[in-house]
Structure 1
Amino acid sequence: MNELSDLRQGALAPGHTADIANALVSASGLRIEIDRRRGRGAGINPSGRFEEQRRETFDDGWQSLEELEPFRTEVQIEKPRTAITRNDSPDIGFDRSINPYRGCEHGCIYCFARPTHSYMGLSAGLDFEAKLFAKPDAPRLLERELSRPDYKVRPIAIGTNTDPYQPIEKEWRIMRQLLEVLQKAGHPVLIVTKGSLITRDIDILADMATKGLAKVGISVTTLDRKLARSMEPRAATPSRRLETIKALTEAGIPTAVMMSPVIPALNDHEIERVLEAGHASGAREASYVLLRLPLEVSPLFRDWLLQNYPDRYRHVMNLVRSMRGGKDYDADFTKRMKGAGPYAWQIGRRFEMATKRLGLARRGMSLRDDLFVRPDGGGVQLSLL
């Protein structure tokens, strides 16, 4: 019987603290059997926070759970009204982005975007990585939006809320179509990904890069294959990501190594090694973001941490809270990316020293916005004058 079942029956395993008990309770659902969730990041699938009713899977004694099939990737078509999403967050270096997909098959347990699945009536847990939405109309909508007379050019970020190069992109090819629209229009683009599939589009990105229109950030969270496999089960391996950086930079595409997120007592000891590996692969820019645990991400990460690194659970969470004002997460714009307090300060200084020693820029080149050519038509209603 698992620990959550013991807890529900009022028995707490010896050595467990009240802190761990609270983490188990907050998970809001029984853990899904390993065989059913193999290759997935989350171990639970709690109901979305907007749902009036909460549903849990439990064993009724008739072995009914043994008949359930493994979680398989399902893709539905989403038809948005616009392709470009706007934001006015002061701590983000862009004001617009495109997400060709909703949900992400990479299954990174720490992903801050998981709570967005609740808007679809789905779970931020296993649903986020198994029940995906594709937006095949996004390229057409983008062309239409760029055609508007009042459109003002600013770099568009792609990969901010879902990875555009997750496995389903091989079939849907939405990201490549978006790049074709941006290339034709001479529009600047920033891309963030963990997927090695981006090398497929080097032909487009290299052409845009020669004109100062494209930059890429490759997220390298750890060099430990075992940790990466558990924490980011369907993302490219660390070595593949470094190979991707090399392939992009050799093609003349400005590429940054991004250590995101930095998790205290789990991967923060690798900061210097990750930056050194990225630099050796050709990256000339670097950045980092501290672990963020908003809304449903906190119980999901706690459950994963307790199952995979129970000996570090209390230490990791105590350090997280020390950088978040005693909470799991602080959404304050001045603190959410880097945290606060002595431990956060130490992480920041280590990053600064490593980037300075390696010659990695923390603020890279600006992309050009003077080459934009407004698409002709694109479905925009023409003036009668």
Structure 2
Amino acid sequence: MRWDNQRVEGNGEQSLFGVSGLIRSVTSPEFAGVTFHEVRARSVLNRVPAASGVPFRWTVNPYRGCSHACRYCFARNTHTYLDLDAGADFDSQVVVKVNAPDVLAAQLRRPGWTREHVAMGTNTDPYQRAEGKYRLMPGIVTALARSGTPFSILTKGTVLTRDLPLLASVSADVPVGLGVSIALLDRELQRGLEPGTPSPQARLELVRRAREAGLPCGVFVAPVLPGLTDSSAALDGLLAAVADAGATGATVIPLHLRPGAREWFGRWLAREHPELVSRYRELYGRGSYVGAGYRRWLAARVAPLLRHHGLAPRSGGQERGVPGDDEADWPRGSVPEGADARAGRKGDQLSLL
């Protein structure tokens, strides 16, 4: 990736919207229409609210905003906290915490840290394309491993392939979970829904290479879009490909539409599939989650397919509570096994300010 001929605006300790510590704002021909705002973060280890249903209490997000530009991304509304919009700004105004590895390493050295599971990719993708330039994740992974902290990564980004040797190496010392999100195989539909992401075929190859490296890797078949990707043929084909890639498990999650994503996805749907607008209004008329009837229908359709392809959950269940969907399960391999995410109450004493 070349960043010559880049344009720089601003320098020094300035304020960017709702973020302090701005170093500079950068554009590049490699990312037409995208501006990267490089900041010095004071903290990168984030505490998950106690009421959350997810199976971890800590996250790290080296980026805010995401050039994957997924129409349905549930994290879109978080950009409004920066006085940016949840639509085009989320896709094109990306905040980069350039000192994230060093800040994280310092936080993990504090006496109060109890080495609980840290999740990455729960808000924006740590392996979006800019990671190829900024290379923040190797330092983050190394800091977590050296501190003895188990961690998980959820991504659509094939930049992760670069770090497979590192991840395989540290997995001998700490539990590691990997998850890859693949919503569909239809390339034309994928280009419209996820215009900044690698192809589904490239992500399947990422799963295959992770497994060849000896790492666990679960797949999130998410989101399933009513009337677009929920046919038996579409789901069967995708799950067959996931199994062929060697995934350790899979979970199937229907689309949910939180504020921000709801409006942005709705515009796309009205433009590309106006015949489905009334159905979506009916399915999502009561809130962000699809109605219980559809969830039961989808679960009944998917269960025999998961069994057929050897991807059904193991007896004893799986971790429940995926970011954006408290009722969904994490696929086997995507959460570090043996990591007690809720243990170590002394961690509550850690100041993150």
Instruction: Tell me the TM-score normalized by structure 2.
Output: 0.77
Question: Where does residue 223 of structure 1 map in the other structure?
Answer: 185
Measured in 2, the distance between the counterparts of 1:76 and 1:317 equals 37
Q: Say if 2:292 is the partner of 1:327.
A: no
What residue identity is the alignment partner of 1:107? A
Work out which of the residue numbers 337, 343, 346 in structure 2 matches 1:367.
Answer: 337
Distance 1:263 1:201 in 2: 31
Cα distance, 1:114 vs structure 2: 0.5
Per-residue deviation, residues 65-86 of structure 1 (Å, max 9, x unmatched): xxxxx97110112333211111
Pick from 272, 276, 281 the counterpart of residue 236 of structure 2.
272
Paired with 2:291 and 2:95, the residues of 1 have a C-alpha distance of 36
C-alpha distance in 1 between matches for 2:96 and 2:118: 19
Q: Is the 8 A contact 1:196 1:236 kept in 2?
A: yes
1:189 maps to 151
Instruction: Name the CA distance, whole Å, in 2 between partners of 1:259 and 1:229.
Output: 17
Matches within 5 A, 1:222-371: 222-269=184-231, 270-318=234-282, 320-321=283-284, 326-329=285-288, 336=289, 339-362=290-313, 363=318, 364=332, 366-369=336-339
| One-letter amino acid of the counterpart of residue 150, structure 2 | P
Name the counterpart of 1:66: none
- Aligned-residue CA RMSD (Å): 2.1
Taking the aligned partners of 1:358 and 1:74, their CA distance within structure 2 comes to: 42
* SS of residue paired to 1:144: helix
- In structure 2, the CA distance between the partners of 1:194 and 1:109, relative to structure 1 (3 Å rule), is same
Q: Distance in 2 between matches of 1:90 and 1:355?
A: 27
Q: 2:106 & 2:170 partners in 1: Cα distance?
A: 21
Instruction: Give the superposition deviation at 1:120.
Output: 0.7
Determine helix, strand or coil for the equivalent of 2:222.
Answer: strand
**Whose strand proportion is higher, 1 or 2?**
2
Contact 1:165-1:193 at 8 Å conserved across structures: yes
SS in 1 for 2:171: helix
Q: Which has more radius of gyration?
A: 1
Q: 2:43 aligns with which of 63, 77, 82?
A: 82
Q: CA deviation at 1:96?
A: 1.1
Q: How many angstroms apart in 1 are the aligned matches of 2:243 and 2:300?
A: 18
Cα displacement (A) at 1:212: 5.4
CA change 1:213–1:352 in 2 (3 A) is same
Q: Kindly indicate whether the alpha-carbon contact (under 8 Å) linking 1:218 and 1:245 is maintained by their aligned counterparts in 2.
A: yes
Structure 1's unaligned 5+ residue stretches are: 1-49, 51-69, 330-335, 371-379, 381-385
What secondary structure is seen at the aligned counterpart in 2 of 1:113? helix
Q: Once the 2 structures are TM-superposed, how far is the Cα of residue 314 of structure 1 from its aligned partner?
A: 2.1
CA distance in 1, matches of 2:287, 2:190: 22
Q: Secondary structure at the match of 1:268?
A: coil
Residues 265 and 316 of structure 1 are in contact (CA less than 8 Å); yes or no, is this contact kept in structure 2? no
Cα offset for 1:340? 4.2
Question: Structure 2 unaligned runs (5+)?
Answer: 1-17, 19-30, 319-331, 341-349
Distance 2:172 2:291 in 1: 39
1:150 match: 112
Contact 1:285 1:360 (C-alpha < 8 Å) held by counterparts = yes
Q: Does 1:205 align with 2:167?
A: yes
Residues 125-170 of structure 1: CA deviation (Å, up to 9, x unaligned):
1110111100012111111111111111211110010001111111
Say whether the 8 Å CA contact 2:185–2:201 is kept in structure 1: yes
CA contact 1:212–1:367 (8 Å) conserved in 2: no
Task: From the superposition, tell whether residues 260 and 207 of structure 1 become closer, same or farther in structure 2 (CA, over 3 Å).
Answer: same
Please give the secondary structure, in 1, of the residue aligned with 2:257.
coil
Query: What TM-score comes out, normalization by structure 1 length?
Result: 0.71
The alpha-carbon distance between structure 1 residues 89 and 221, as it changes in their structure 2 partners (threshold 3 A), is: farther
**How far apart are the structure 2 equivalents of 1:271 and 1:123?**
33
Q: Give the letter aligned to residue 155 of structure 1.
A: H
